[in-house]
């Protein structure tokens, strides 16, 4: 089962300066994404800062986005944890809320072996009846899903895709032919959308699309419309902006950009702090052609 083909946004969570979730801004963000061609939304992923929200806050954000979306596009909820039982709880709750699927990051900090990854993901996938996307981001978690492990997991009926954010083209080149026809692949790196589609990805789960959803959607769309030169040129054009958006820990820069564009405040919950290179980011946004508020 393919959850989506195209560009999905790893949605930021806007907070007010009083530390409360800004639901008005969140609704505007959801509609901004849908109105500009985004194919799916990922809620409570890394970019959404779920690790600094209470369980009740996470649930309220997830429920609210599902209500705002009204079935117009798929909503995928982050259900990752380094505690397998907690990941199961998050995944079951996502299913109960009406999510179209879950995104499950590899266990972090305590980490595990490849056998542990198979057991972890199998336990989560066995507990629900909605699709699971594996999320491989070893730079954050310290754990890599090896291609052979992904192949084994692809045999599970509920494990339908992998978000590959290792940044290693060699890994992707090993992975893609192994799981072709068994599991969908998504780029987890905004700077590698075009090359990963050339190697078999059917889209991206993007951070940059929080602020430029139409551009990222069109970059992906051009590729699948066989306008490869346009898609490639769009990747070249956006890469300086992407570099700026990852010049500090995500989602610090993209939330600053969202404020500069009038989308929401850039309040961050500790240990994340405000962006330290705002003037440089302003110039990059202007150079890209965006109008600041």
Instruction: Write the pLDDT tens digit of every residue in 242-280.
Output: 999 999 999 999 999 999 999 999 999 999 999 999 999
Tens digit of each residue's pLDDT (9 = 90 or more) over 132-180: 999 999 999 999 999 999 999 999 999 999 999 999 999 999 999 999 9
pLDDT > 90 in the chain, percent: 99
Specify if 268 maps to a domain.
no
**Total domain count for the chain?**
1
CA dist., res. 85 & res. 199, Å (int): 35
Supply the pLDDT for residue 160.
Answer: 98
Q: Computed from CA positions of residues 58, 64, 67, 73, in that sequence, does the dihedral angle turn out positive or negative?
A: negative
Residue 1 clears pLDDT 90, i.e. is over it: no
Specify if 45 maps to a domain.
yes
For 19, the 3-state DSSP assignment is coil
CA dist., res. 61 & res. 64, Å (int): 5
Of the candidates 135, 44, 137, the one whose C-alpha atom is nearest the C-alpha of residue 89 is: 44
Specify if 253 maps to a domain.
no
Domain residue limits at 147: 6-238
CB contact set of 197 (below 8 Å; sequence gap of 6+): 187, 203, 220, 223, 224, 231
User: Which residues does the annotation mark as catalytic?
Assistant: 135, 163
CATH code, domain with 168: 3.20.20.70
Specify if 1 maps to a domain.
no
Return the beta strands (E) in 26-153 as ranges. Answer: 40-43, 75-78, 101-105, 132-136
Specify if 254 maps to a domain.
no
Specify if 200 maps to a domain.
yes
Residue 88 clears pLDDT 90, i.e. is over it: yes
Specify if 85 maps to a domain.
yes
Of the candidates 83, 80, 137, 146, the one whose C-alpha atom is nearest the C-alpha of residue 110 is: 83
Residues 101-120: what's their mean pLDDT?
97
Q: Are 200 and 223 in contact (CB under 8 A)?
A: no
Specify if 283 maps to a domain.
no
């Amino acid at each position: 089962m393919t959850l989506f083909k195209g560009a999905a946004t790893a949605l930021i969570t806007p907070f007010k300066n009083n530390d409360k979730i800004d639901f008005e801004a969140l609704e505007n963000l959801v509609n901004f994404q849908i109105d500009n061609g985004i194919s799916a939304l990922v809620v409570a992923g890394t970019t959404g800062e779920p690790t600094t929200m209470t369980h009740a806050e996470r649930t309220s954000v997830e429920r609210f986005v599902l209500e705002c979306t009204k079935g117009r596009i798929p909503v995928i909820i982050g259900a990752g944890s380094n505690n397998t039982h907690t990941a199961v709880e998050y995944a079951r709750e996502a299913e109960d809320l009406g999510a179209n699927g879950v995104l499950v990051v590899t266990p972090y900090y305590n980490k595990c072996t490849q056998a542990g990854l198979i057991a972890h993901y199998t336990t989560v996938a066995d507990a629900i009846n909605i699709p699971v996307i594996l999320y491989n981001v070893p730079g954050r978690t310290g754990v890599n899903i090896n291609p052979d492990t992904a192949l084994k997991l692809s045999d599970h009926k509920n494990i339908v895709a992998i978000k590959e954010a290792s940044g290693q083209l060699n890994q992707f080149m090993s992975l893609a032919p192994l799981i072709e026809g068994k599991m969908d692949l998504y780029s987890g790196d905004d700077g590698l959308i075009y090359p990963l589609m050339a190697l078999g990805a059917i889209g991206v789960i993007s951070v940059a699309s929080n602020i430029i959803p139409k551009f990222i959607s069109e970059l992906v769309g051009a590729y699948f419309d066989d306008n490869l030169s346009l898609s490639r040129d769009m990747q070249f054009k956006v890469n300086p902006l992407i570099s700026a958006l990852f010049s500090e820990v995500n989602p610090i820069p993209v939330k600053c950009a969202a404020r500069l564009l009038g989308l929401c405040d850039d309040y961050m919950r500790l240990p994340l702090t405000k962006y330290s290179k705002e003037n440089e980011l302003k110039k990059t946004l202007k150079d890209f052609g965006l109008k600041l508020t």
